[in-house]
Chains A and B, each alone.
Chain A
């Protein structure tokens, strides 16, 4: 039962045979064009539970599809394909293939939380977007986004030493995202710092790049955080029925 609505016909669903003869009639080319059915034949019931198990996705099952989130969305105003309301629905009924069509834009959420304040049911759509991006990564559908890589290098240092060193964060971020360290804006910024900051501060900054700064007595905190992070990762993977993680670098 096709729906004859042109806007719903996708190129990839059009099938045409170069050479085709049906019961002696030549229907080659456009004569054999037909549209593949768009029928949903089952629900993937695990999908909503998987997203709900990731931080931010907990309240997804509350959604009643009013569209307040999409209407409030900063990114939707720029790109109408960015539609949180629609993605939440796809996740709720488990239409994975449809969600994956948009996998390359879902991470673009800027976490402005306008949707969070607009949502009448406290779905926390911003959290759902975060959980969904996370889900796409864990499932291997998308590579880690630059923002996620930055999060990683930043928190790795905090977890390890209880503090960060800006230069090291930047260097590791550039290295891990395959970017050159010599960025024009960075050069300009360093030059500005050198010419404007007092010498004593510059010396401290310079020393910090050589000697990794550490928080005194951080050991117990580091152990507790490491334990929590490992637990959290394991829980996320369990929720998605993924094999346990191989030990991290």
Chain B
């Protein structure tokens, strides 16, 4: 039990794994490529989290503080793992900052990369300043700047949120559902309605996947309390006319083409595999699944495992994941690492 556990990535999953390991008296080395901990919710400036409604800086910020203040956890910021070798119980990792770490196991909490909307040029991102992403709207809210059209700073009177941008789209090789964008969009729509009561919000969808308990608390609530309108249409293109945006598509419920003017168009961007996953896979000697996420070992027999014994994984590194589930998986991976520390031989033999 002397060697520490290496946790790679300080987002919700990594913070959770590090805290869980330290709470059992295990020492942890936490490595993050950014200059601060917190992962996507902090680095991308998320506003109020789904489903708790707590501000990201409070909720995730609290997790960061808890880890930073723990004497059993050593944090390396601005650092990547460049070499990783050895076997379960006796791994050696080297960081890009030149540190050599002897660790018993590794937990990869390397997360995801937001879809870059430039890859769907027909939807106007990068061409028209008033086409933004859900991440940018989160930042408008979390910074206190409010919802404004970037082109001239006016308050929008009508907002369109386009779902499945960078998800469920063979044209661009994204064959997965990003799971949380429907709920996040409903949440953002309610925020916009609360901030700008005169502004109508339309959500263009193929289906609404506010799974589990998000159904009534987000989807229904957005319709019933906040009068957000849902239109069944996958948008074909976004153009502009006379200072406003023009959203074109087919309203499949009335079987009619639509060309509707909007002030602000929001792309509900999906979760791509971490752009560095190929590098991560090569460094750690693990395999990726067909979409480029980290391949998980069988859940039933080897929860939190990867294809390499002693290397574990948690959170959105394995595919689109919610923050709550990433935190749960962080703890599960910590448990797996602890279990291996107690029975290294059996685990290695498997």
Contacts and interface: CB of A to CB of B under 8 A. Distances in A.
Interface residues on A, range: 20 to 34
A189 interface: no
Contacts of A3: 250, 255-257
A8 interface: yes
A48 B227 CA distance: 10
Contacts of A48: 227
Q: Please name the 8 residue pairs, one residue from A and one from B, whose CB atoms are nearest each other, closest first.
A: A40-B258, A39-B257, A38-B256, A61-B227, A1-B257, A41-B259, A40-B256, A39-B259
B230 A64 contact: yes
B223 A5 contact: no
24 contacts: A1-B248, A1-B257, A3-B257, A8-B255, A39-B256, A39-B259, A40-B251, A40-B257, A40-B259, A40-B260, A42-B261, A43-B200, A43-B260, A45-B200, A48-B227, A61-B223, A61-B224, A62-B223, A64-B208, A64-B223, A65-B232, A90-B254, A93-B229, A95-B254
Which of A38, A42, A43, A121 has the most B CB atoms < 10 Å from its CB?
A: A43
B200 A62 contact: no
Which of B202, B250, B254 has the most A CB atoms < 10 Å from its CB?
A: B254
Contact of A39 (B227, B258, B261): B258
Interface in A7-65: 8, 37-43, 45, 48, 59, 61-62, 64-65
Contacts of A1: 248, 257
Given A64-B230, A65-B232, A89 B253 contact: yes
A38 B255 CA distance: 9
B224 A38 contact: no
Interface residues of B, number: 23
B260 A89 contact: no
A90 B202 CA distance: 15
Interface string B252-288: 0111111111000000000000000000000000000
Nearest to A45: B200
Nearest to A8: B255
A166 interface: no
Contacts of B250: 3
B258 to A, nearest CB: 5
A102 interface: no
B34 interface: no
Contacts of B231: 93
Nearest to B228: A61
Interface string B201-241: 01000001000000000001001100101111000000000
B227 A5 contact: no
Nearest to A49: B227
A37 B257 contact: yes
Interface in A105-128: 121
A215 to B, nearest CB: 42
A43 B201 CA distance: 12
A212 interface: no
A153 B288 CA distance: 76
A22 B260 CA distance: 32
